[in-house]
Amino acid sequence: MNETTQNDMRTIPPLARLYLWATRRLYNEFAWSYDLVAWGVSGGRWDGWRRMALDYVVDQPVLEVGFGTGALLLEMAGRGWQVVGVDLSPAMQRVTARKMRRRGLWAPRAQTSAQTLPFAAGFFGSIISTFPAEYVIDPASLDEFLRVLRPGGRLIIAGLVVQRSGAAWNRGNALIFGSVPTHPAAVQQARLAAAGFAPHLVMRDDPPWQVPVIIAEKPL
């Protein structure tokens, strides 16, 4: 995380900071429990929400950033797609490697950060990021995504903030993140536009949930 993002972190409400601390534990010491937690908090819908990103892939190779426990990497490898994954967490790498061995599937992976991608400029046709961590708001990551995509390629971000209709849900979110006058997906679109992408938003309905999918194209 660069200095700008660290400054952003200091301005966020204490409950949000606690939430971020807990998510870091989940990506590291408790990575073994990630699938169960994701299944629990989504009422069993996490896999389906994550898979929504694949509906917008039109070009390969695909880079998956922050692949977590590797479900989408396995799905794409199983479809015979050319795919590469990066994730910063050694624990997530281990969980994914175990899953790949068990299923007899393989995809190249690197333990590296979204902010410093070890790939040549213009190498990828698509980048996928589902339920992204804070890297997705860091201008350094967005610059890297733009660099490694070929012109006309797409960055697809699914599940930035899943929303549920109902006042209690909105009150809970406001308690953690503070009142946000603009939808987080709209704020992210502005960040992507500032980084040089042409973004648009698709709201996918899965009643009572709504899952935002941002498709951001690198201009030709």
Ligand X SMILES: C[S@@+](CC[C@H](N)C(=O)[O-])C[C@H]1O[C@@H](n2cnc3c(N)ncnc32)[C@H](O)[C@@H]1O
What's the min distance (Å) between Cβ of 220 and ligand X? 28
User: Site for ligand X (CB under 6 A): which residue of 61, 68, 85, 153?
Assistant: 68
133 binds ligand X (CB under 6 A): yes
- Asked if 85 is part of the footprint of ligand X (rule: CB under 6 A), the reply reads no
Q: Assess 145 for contact with ligand X (CB under 6 A).
A: no
Q: What is the 3-state secondary structure (H, E, C) of 142-171?
A: HHHHHHHEEEEEEEEEECCCCEECCHHHHH
Contact predicate 146/218, CB 8 Å: yes
Q: b/e string for 11-24 if b means 16 or more Cβ within 10 A?
A: eeeeeeeeeeeebe
Q: Which is nearer to ligand X, 61 or 66 (CB)?
A: 66
| Contact flag: residue 113 with ligand X (CB under 6 A) | yes
Rule CB under 6 A: is residue 130 a binding residue for ligand X? yes
Candidate list 74, 109, 135, 195; residue touching ligand X; CB under 6 A: 135
**Closest distance of CB 167 from ligand X, Å:** 26
| Interatomic CA distance for residues 103 and 125, integer angstroms | 26
144 scored as a contact of ligand X (CB under 6 A) = no
- Cβ-based nearer residue to ligand X, 74 or 199: 74
Q: Is 148 in the site for ligand X (CB under 6 A)?
A: no
d(CA 82, CA 75): 11
In whole angstroms, the minimum distance from the beta carbon of 134 to ligand X comes to: 7
Q: Does 83 bind ligand X (CB under 6 A)?
A: no
* Least distance in angstroms from the C-beta of 87 to ligand X: 5
Closer Cβ to ligand X, 163 or 198, answer by number:
163
Choice between 92 and 148, CB closer to ligand X: 92
CA gap 60, 125 in Å, rounded: 5
Residues that bind ligand X (CB under 6 A): 27, 38, 50, 65-68, 86-89, 92, 113-115, 130-131, 133, 135
